[in-house]
Amino acid sequence: MAELQEFWRWTEYTWNNPDVDWRKAKRIAAGIDVGSVSSQALILADGEIYAFSNLRTGSNSPDSAHKAVNGAMKDTGMELSNIKYTVGTGYGRVNIPFANRAITEIACHARGANFMAGPKIRTVLDMGGQDCKAIHCDERGKVSNFLMNDKCAAGTGRGMEVMADLLSIPIKEIGELSYQVDTEPAPVSSTCVVFAKSEALGLMRSGWSKNMVLAAYCSAMAHRVSLLLGRIGVEDQFFITGGIAKNPGIVKRLEKELGIESVKTKYDSQIAGALGAALFADTLLQKGGA
């Protein structure tokens, strides 16, 4: 029997920098971001990114946090006791047994974005698995204002997952496929994901290709997010974090709608929260770890 294929998740992986010997580092700090769908752990050695993992969140936060940090430490010889300070963030942040402190994901994403994309970043859009946040921050990555949608699946990763499952298309292919259309269709008109699903099925019955439906859904989602951003005001420079940042089907349409390009970096946009948490941990460690 063929294995049931899952379409809606990003690939899990771990990474470490082989050129760095963590044993020589004076400060080892970690950030753990236990999100609703995925969890990341990131380890800093003397303030530099040494290792990270990007894995799935399991059924409970403590296990997910352990799995994430073990993933980051994989093949490095590092043990949990080597990490001197850990900050937890994300949806499950209060339930990370080995964390010294919990800091909100809003603060962590802003701080992570500041590191990843530089001090000129003023607007951060974090598009997570189950919520979406528009954040305003200063040159140090400190949050000055934010708006969040955590009540409605429309405009969150979850909405895209539902569509990926419905159309049986892996989430990482959606962005590219959504541009393989002859003409850009009008956005899906339903806001609610439940209704958008019915609408998508109706469009397919009336002869639309899957790619057309994806294009229509991506632009609906881009529009939805642009409304949230519009309420807080988009100020240059603009950066997107979270899983959706890896979906050009949303990103390019959103940039077009806003009339502003987002800053692209070499980093995985999903690690921003864990990176911010690790940066906080590193700072706290330098202050004496209290």
Partner 1 sequence: MITTGIDVGAKTVKVVLMEDGKIRGKAKVLSGFDQEESAREALEQALKEAGLAREAIGSIVTTGNGRKAISFAKGDVTEARAAALGAVFLYPTARTVIDVGAEESRAIKCDATGKVLDFAVNEKCAAGSGAFTEAMARALEVPLEELGPLSLKATQTIPMNAQCAVFAESEVISLIHSKTEKADIARAVHDGLSSRVVAMVRRVGLDSELVLIGGVAHNPGFVESFKRTVGLDDVRTAAEPDFVGAIGAALAAAE
| Residue 199, C-beta contacts closer than 8 angstroms, at least 6 positions apart | 188, 189, 190
Decide whether 82 or 190 has the Cβ nearer to partner 1. Answer: 190
What part of residues 69-98 is at the interface with partner 1 (CB under 8 A)?
A: none
Phi then psi for 98, rounded to 5 degrees? -95, 5
CB of residue 162 vs partner 1: minimum separation in angstroms? 6
The answer to whether 104 contacts partner 1 (rule: CB under 8 A) is no
Q: Using CB under 8 A, which of the segments 158-166, 210-218, 268-276, 281-289 binds partner 1?
A: 158-166
- The answer to whether residues 275 and 115 touch, using CB atoms and an 8 Å cutoff, is yes
Judged by CB under 8 A, the residue of 70, 130, 209, 265 near partner 1 is 130
Q: How far apart are CA 218 and CA 245, in angstroms?
A: 12
- The answer to whether residues 115 and 276 touch, using CB atoms and an 8 Å cutoff, is yes
SS3 label, residue 233: coil
Residue type, 37: V
Residue type, 244: I
CB of residue 63 vs partner 1: minimum separation in angstroms? 14
The answer to whether 159 contacts partner 1 (rule: CB under 8 A) is yes
Decide whether 5 or 59 has the Cβ nearer to partner 1. Answer: 59
The answer to whether 265 contacts partner 1 (rule: CB under 8 A) is no
Judged by CB under 8 A, the residue of 193, 244, 272, 281 near partner 1 is 193
DSSP 193: H
Between the alpha carbon of residue 240 and those of residues 26, 97, 254, the distances in Å are 32, 30, 11
Tokens at 155, concatenated = 């405009």
The answer to whether 160 contacts partner 1 (rule: CB under 8 A) is no
> What string marks each residue from 132 to 151 as x (binds partner 1 by CB under 8 A) or -?
-------------------x
CB of residue 195 vs partner 1: minimum separation in angstroms? 6
Question: Hey, which residues does 161 pair with through a beta bridge?
Answer: none
Residues recorded for the chain:
290
Q: Using CB under 8 A, which of the segments 2-10, 110-118, 152-160, 229-237 binds partner 1?
A: 152-160
What are the residues binding partner 1 (CB under 8 A)?
59, 130, 151-153, 158-159, 162, 190-195, 202, 205
